[in-house]
Amino acid sequence: MASITRALRPLSRTTPSARLASKRLATVRPVQSAYAFSTTPRRREADLSELTPTPISLLSETESMMADMVSKFASEQIGPKVRDMDEAETMDPAVVEGLFEQGIMGIEIPEEFGGAGMNFTAAIVAIEELARIDPSVSVMVDVHNTLVNTAIMKYGDAQAHRTWLPKLSTSTVGSFCLSEPVSGSDAFALQTKAEKTADGYKINGSKMWITNAMESGIFIVFANLNPSAGYKGITAFIVEKGTPGFSIAKKEKKLGIRASSTCVLNFDDVVIPKSNILGEEGKGYKIAIEILNEGRIGIAAQMTGLALGAWEHAARYVWNDRKQFGQLIGEFQGMQHQIAQAYTEIAAARALVYNAARKKEAGQDFVKDAAMAKLYASQVAGRVAGSAVEWMGGMGFVREGIAEKMFRDSKIGAIYEGTSNIQLQTIAKMLQKQYTN
């Protein structure tokens, strides 16, 4: 199978035309527009004041084709393996290999390092499409692209780019290691320590809830190099799997996204060279904050994709298969109202997601928007996935289909990369600042 991103590269290098993204909320794409909104990094420095207003869901031709091609890949290559991976609580290596072959693991990485050289929204589109089929695969791609790749591209020096980006774009999964047993929402209370050595650094401590850990070969690890400075001593380092003293202590058994590995990591006198520092000493807290703000848009996209996948699966069933009292249950007014309400909430959540993505690309302040998108998308995913189980009745409750899996998978959206309460706190603080005299 030809690489998805390789096929799209010529389009991403030109001024793209645009199409609406609403195929995911309808069956037909509207006509193209003469205005493409923020599809390249160059747009971030552009004056947007003269642009004709366009729908938030407007996608460039490249992004629209990305959605179609990732959807096809997910349906054909991932879909048949979803149930087996969930039952085994293991990611099929062939799926990981396929993601790299299609270029989905290096969407924003420049072409010179083996990536696709596309924009942030292209990555969001891919994450959403994958989540319609399997949120476990979607979060692997999300963490790898929006956290790991972005951190190294943004904060790594030229040597770091040459060393790590070719691997991350073509063969090696990455993990973002911030959380610890005693530091979840209070991330900067982390206890993992680093100390300088003659040739580099030595790391000691443990990390918890680390996504992709079983599959990863590259880990961005946050440790405190100067505990006396508090959070201003936190520094980011890059550790490779196989480094002496580094080990995976435990793989968690989870309620949902079971095929996605979540592990406890131990660091016992792990020695790394000076070149493995990411950014500057004592600036790790800034890296974590900024990268997680972007990552929250990815999780929001995962949740909208999940919600849409659950909705589509259940809607097809109630409008085509399940009958009660001599008619399809989808024809009862009470059911139609529930289906319409769920669809409307998905559309609203997607508007928040794409608005946050476009503001990020345009270089505008998007922190509040990302928090609102993640908060609301996770709420919608939970409601819609739960309703989908009820609409399908017994068939929604058994493990024969995907409804119950989507319901289980939806719960994590309110927990990782900032709980719903943390998002509410972020939103409230920014609103208070805005409205305080």
Annotated catalytic residues are 417
Question: Which candidate, 66, 145, 136, 78, places its Cα nearest to that of 105?
Answer: 145
Asked whether 373 and 356 are in contact (CB, 8 A), the reply is: yes
Q: Which helix (H) or strand (E) holds 277?
A: strand 277-278
Q: Which residues of 26-39 are buried (b: 16+ CB within 10 A; e: fewer)?
A: eeebeebbeebbbb
CA distance 82 to 145: 21
d(CA 85, CA 61): 33
CA 92 to chain CA centroid, nearest Å:
19
Within the chain, what is the greatest distance between any pair of CA atoms?
Answer: 79
Report whether 335 contacts 391 (CB < 8 A).
yes
Using DSSP's 3-state secondary structure scheme, residue 389 falls into helix
Residues 6+ apart with CB under 8 A from 234: 188, 190, 222, 223, 224, 225, 282, 284, 285, 288
Measured from the Cβ of residue 335, the count of other Cβ atoms closer than 10 Å reads 18
Measured on CA atoms in the order 426, 427, 432, 434, is the torsion positive or negative? positive
Angstrom distance (rounded) from CA 137 to CA 121: 18
CB 373 within 8 A of CB 423: no
- CA nearest neighbour of 236 among 144, 156, 143: 156
Question: What is the number of residues in the chain?
Answer: 437
For residue 235, give Cα distances in angstroms to 29, 172, 184, 194, 287. Answer: 46, 23, 17, 8, 9
Backbone angles phi, psi at 307, to 5 degrees: -60, -45
Q: Show the beta-strand stretches assigned E in 108-155.
A: none
Measuring CA to CA, which residue among 191, 174, 178, 76 is closest to residue 134?
76
